[in-house]
Each structure stands twice: as structure tokens, then as C-alpha cells.
């Protein structure tokens, strides 16, 4: 990781809040953050990639799969994220304001993964014992319950982890850190799809159990090894009933049109990406083509499809490394605009040209590299645009918009696919949403220029 140099007679110092690092100290913090990121991204793949398969194996519909794996988590996240953001910003404890939540939520993640891994035998036991419904019905109900536990715990884990790196990573090297963060995450995604996804039919339980234990170990190490600094006392709590707190939250987070433009980027981008994750497996493999009346799919088996997705993640790694320095040099907004243009073209290329295993592989690899450009830029964008003192609060407001898209998009896209009976149209849906995200990004850029741009922009302060 390339870091700014300093006079040789003094140790290299980096500061964020009350934390002061030498070069070695900063690299140590970055190392543990990235180790946890590898496990985090591996963990994120399980409900995205495996739960749709588990649901399909018990004959769940496309709309139900989209609801359970996309809309339901997003709907719950819309209500949980503001609470998590404000709660984390205001929390003060010996471990800091972020790490306690990581410590408390990790066991719940482990429990939910064990539940998902043993969904089939648990459902068979319930069906045999209670005889109130069939094994498929009990399986769907059990998976839904485990997903509910996962979503609540994952909301804390995913949000607070991202708040933590804003609190412990200095802004001058944030772009480089985001490049490494995205690259390591892509390696976690590669490891899952290349080595584990193809074994889903025969080793589902083992995949869940091993992943849960790996995640628990790495996040406990993160809490132990990454210290937080001191924070100023939180502002006084707002007196009165709960709607006074809600009014203050909405006034601060939505009281400026600039914020709405930033939030719109999340809405449209996640409206594109989540349906892709939910349905591309059925386009690339045999399950979609096996449905009566559906257009033919690529017809890969799960192992072949998993390796293609794995290679897509691996090819994202050099893109993330290349994007990091560009973010620090040219600003994340410019990188985001470039990323959205190439991502839109890649979605259209998948729709038009992916007709065989070879053409699908080429189109998918190009798409993953294009998405990596945007993901690298947007990861460093929010710390540049929002007030750090209330970072969690603003990040949660941004997630409300992102989750709004996730709530609606998978179900609507599922209905569209069911009506057209062709999984190929998921790429056209994604391209349309990507165009709208690009428009929102351009509007943010123009407003950012009016507010000072490269030289004079400072985050908008709210009261």
C-alpha cells in the first residue's frame, strides 16, 4: 500500500481524530481491517448465492425468491439502518462507539448460518413432528426465520464495519484503502464462487458452518486488534416523544437537495445490482431453462457457473488496485461517472451477446471489471461528501434509499421475468437502472462543483 512520504528524520505520522499512526501502525490497522473484510465478503455471498438455490429446490417462485433474498432484507434494513447509524454515532464505551456492535452481532450471524445450513433436516423434523405442513413449506418458513435473524445482525455488522474504517483510516489514504478493501473483498467472493459454490448441492451444511466459524474468528480478532480513538461527547438527546427524534433525523438528513441527489445514486445502483445477483444464476445454469415455457438458458452446471463468477471477482482485484490511486488524484465522483458509463455498456453487452458458455463468460468478466470501477469510486465518495461527526446517521439515510430500490426491484424484476419467461431480460433491467444512476451522479457532480468542487468544498453541516 503506497502511503504519503514524510521527512526521514521523523517517523511517518498519520492522524484521524485522536488516533496517530506511524507507517507501521497504520499498516497494522489496515491489515486487520482487510482480514475481516475478506471474511465479511465471503459471508455476504452465502445468502445471496445459496438461499435462492435452497428456495428453488423446494419449488419457490421467482417473486418469492426475489422477496425473501432481496426485498425482505432491504425492507427491514430501511427501518433498522437509521437506528443503527444514530445509535452507533452516539455510543460511548471502553471499546469505542463502533466495535461493541461488531462484538454483539457476530454470534447472531453464526446462529443464522448454522440454521440455514441445517434447514433441510430441521424442516423434515418439524414436518414429521407437527404434521401441519409439507417439508417444502416448513423449509421456506425456517429459511425465512433464519434470514430474519441474519438481516438484523448483518445490518449492524455491515454498517458499523463501514463506519469504523471512516473513524480509523486517515482521509489522505482513504482512496488507496478503499482500493485494497474492494480488492480483498473480491478475493473473498472469488474464493466462495470458485471453490465452494460448485459444492452447494452436496456440501451445503459444511459451507455454512465453516464460513460461520471463519467469520466469527476474524471479527473477534478485529475487535481485539483495531483500537478506536476518543470521541467528543455526543450531542444532548432531544427531549420529548420519539417523533421529535424522527423529525430531527429527517430534517438533518433530508433537509438539503444535495443529499437527495447523493441518495438517488444508491437507489438506482442497488435497483440494478440486487436483481442481477438474485436471477443471473438461473440464466447461467439449468434451473431456469428447466421451467416450462421459459427461454433456453446458458445451461452450465453449478460448478462451472461458480467458477465463472469466481473469475469475475478475481479480475476485479487489479481494477480495484488501479482505481484506488485514481480516486485520491481525481476525486471519487469522476471515477463513479466513468464506472457507470462502462457498467451500462457492459449490461447491454450481456443482454445482446451472451448466448453460449464462452460468450457468457466473456461478457460476465467484462461486466465485473466495469462494476469494480464504480464500486471502488463510490466506496470513497461518502467520506468526502458527508459530515464525519454524524457519518453513521447520514450513511443510514443513504441506505434507506438504497434499500428502497432493493425492496422494489427484485420483486418487480421477478414479475417481469415471469411475464416474459426469459431470464436474459435481467440484464436489460440492470442497464436501465444503471443509466438512471449515471444521471444522478452527474447531478451530484454539478452540485458539488457549485459548492466549491476540488478546492473549496466542505461537507454540509446540519443543525
Q: Would you state the pLDDT for residue 57?
A: 85
* DSSP H or E stretch at residue 131: none
- CA atoms of 114 and 150, how far apart (whole Å): 11
Nearest in space to 163 (alpha carbons), one of 101, 245, 75:
101
CA 457 to chain centre: 28
* pLDDT tens by residue, 28-47: 999 999 999 888 888 888 88
Q: Would you state the pLDDT for residue 12?
A: 58
**Is residue 402 classed exposed, middle or buried when 0-12, 13-18 and 19+ CB atoms within 10 A define those classes?**
buried
CA 260 to chain centre: 20
Which CATH number does 18-229+252-454 carry? 1.20.1250.20
**Is residue 145 classed exposed, middle or buried when 0-12, 13-18 and 19+ CB atoms within 10 A define those classes?**
middle
* pLDDT tens by residue, 151-172: 899 989 988 998 898 889 887 8
Q: Would you state the pLDDT for residue 11?
A: 61
- CA atoms of 88 and 395, how far apart (whole Å): 11
Q: Would you state the pLDDT for residue 200?
A: 79
Q: Would you state the pLDDT for residue 224?
A: 92
pTM over 0.75: no
**Is residue 201 classed exposed, middle or buried when 0-12, 13-18 and 19+ CB atoms within 10 A define those classes?**
exposed
In Å, what is the CA distance from 42 to each residue of 189, 212, 362?
6, 10, 24
What residues contact 120, with CB distance under 8 A and at least 6 apart?
139, 204
Please check whether residue 216 is in contact with residue 110, taking contact to mean a CB–CB distance below 8 angstroms: yes
**Is residue 121 classed exposed, middle or buried when 0-12, 13-18 and 19+ CB atoms within 10 A define those classes?**
exposed
Q: Would you state the pLDDT for residue 437?
A: 95
In the Cβ-directed half-sphere of 316, how many Cα atoms lie within 13 Å?
Answer: 31
| Own/partner long-range contacts of 234-240 (Cβ < 8 Å, ≥24 apart) | 234/89, 234/90, 234/92, 235/90, 237/90
Please check whether residue 403 is in contact with residue 78, taking contact to mean a CB–CB distance below 8 angstroms: yes
Ordered per-residue pLDDT tens for the chain, 463 residues: 444 444 444 465 788 888 889 888 899 999 999 999 888 888 888 887 888 888 888 888 777 787 777 777 777 777 787 788 778 888 888 888 899 999 999 999 999 999 999 998 998 888 888 877 788 888 888 998 998 899 899 989 988 998 898 889 887 888 788 778 878 877 877 788 777 877 877 888 999 999 899 999 999 999 999 999 888 887 777 656 666 767 777 788 788 899 899 999 999 998 988 778 778 888 888 754 446 677 878 888 878 888 888 888 888 888 888 888 888 888 899 999 999 999 999 999 999 999 999 999 999 999 999 999 998 888 888 888 887 777 777 887 887 888 788 778 877 888 888 888 888 999 999 999 999 999 999 999 999 999 888 888 887 775 5
Amino acid at each position: 500500500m503506497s502511503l504519503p512520504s514524510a521527512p526521514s528524520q521523523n517517523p511517518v505520522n498519520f492522524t484521524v481524530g485522536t488516533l496517530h499512526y506511524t507507517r507501521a501502525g497504520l499498516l497494522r490497522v489496515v491489515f486487520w481491517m482487510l482480514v475481516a473484510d475478506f471474511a465479511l465478503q465471503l459471508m455476504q455471498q452465502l445468502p445471496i448465492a445459496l438461499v435462492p438455490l435452497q428456495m428453488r429446490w423446494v419449488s419457490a417462485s421467482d417473486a418469492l425468491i426475489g422477496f425473501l433474498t432481496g426485498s425482505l432484507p432491504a425492507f427491514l434494513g430501511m427501518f433498522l439502518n437509521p437506528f443503527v447509524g444514530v445509535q452507533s454515532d452516539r455510543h460511548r464505551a471502553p471499546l469505542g462507539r463502533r466495535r461493541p456492535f461488531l462484538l454483539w452481532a457476530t454470534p447472531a450471524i453464526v446462529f443464522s448460518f448454522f440454521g440455514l445450513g441445517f434447514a433441510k433436516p430441521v424442516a423434515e423434523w418439524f414436518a414429521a413432528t407437527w404434521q401441519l405442513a409439507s417439508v417444502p413449506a416448513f423449509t421456506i418458513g425456517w429459511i425465512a426465520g433464519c434470514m430474519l435473524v441474519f438481516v438484523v445482525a448483518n445490518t449492524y455488522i455491515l454498517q458499523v464495519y463501514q463506519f469504523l474504517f471512516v473513524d480509523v483510516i486517515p482521509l489522505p489514504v482513504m482512496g488507496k484503502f478503499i482500493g485494497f478493501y474492494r480488492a480483498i473483498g473480491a478475493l473473498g467472493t472469488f474464493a466462495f464462487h470458485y471453490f465452494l459454490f460448485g459444492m452447494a448441492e452436496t456440501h451445503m451444511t459444511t459451507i455454512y458452518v465453516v464460513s460461520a466459524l471463519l467469520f466469527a474468528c476474524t471479527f473477534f480478532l478485529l475487535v481485539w486488534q483495531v483500537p478506536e480513538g476518543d470521541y467528543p461527547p455526543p450531542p444532548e438527546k432531544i427531549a420529548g416523544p420519539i417523533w421529535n427524534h424522527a423529525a430531527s433525523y429527517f430534517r438533518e438528513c433530508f433537509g438539503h437537495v444535495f443529499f437527495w441527489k447523493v441518495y438517488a445514486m444508491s437507489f438506482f445502483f442497488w435497483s440494478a445490482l440486487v436483481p442481477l445477483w438474485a436471477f443471473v444464476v438461473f440464466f447461467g445454469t439449468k434451473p431456469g431453462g428447466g421451467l416450462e415455457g421459459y427461454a433456453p438458458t446458458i445451461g452450465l452446471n453449478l460448478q462451472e457457473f461458480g467458477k465463472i463468477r469466481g473469475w469475475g471477482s478475481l479480475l476485479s482485484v487489479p481494477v480495484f488496485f488501479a482505481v484506488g490511486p485514481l480516486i485520491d488524484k481525481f476525486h471519487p465522483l469522476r471515477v463513479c461517472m466513468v464506472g457507470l458509463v462502462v457498467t451500462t455498456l457492459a449490461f447491454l453487452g450481456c443482454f445482446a451477446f451472451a448466448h453460449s458458455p464462452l460468450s457468457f463468460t466473456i461478457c460476465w468478466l467484462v461486466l465485473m471489471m466495469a462494476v469494480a470501477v464504480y464500486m471502488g469510486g463510490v466506496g470513497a465518495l461518502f467520506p468526502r461528501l458527508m459530515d464525519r461527526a454524524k457519518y453513521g446517521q447520514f450513511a443510514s439515510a443513504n441506505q434507506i434509499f438504497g434499500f428502497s430500490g432493493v425492496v422494489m426491484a427484485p420483486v418487480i424484476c421477478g414479475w417481469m421475468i415471469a411475464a416474459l419467461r426469459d431470464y436474459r431480460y435481467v440484464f436489460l433491467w440492470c442497464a436501465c437502472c444503471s443509466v438512471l444512476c449515471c444521471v444522478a451522479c452527474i447531478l451530484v457532480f454539478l452540485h458539488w462543483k457549485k459548492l466549491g468542487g476540488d478546492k473549496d468544498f466542505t461537507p454540509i453541516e446540519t443543525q
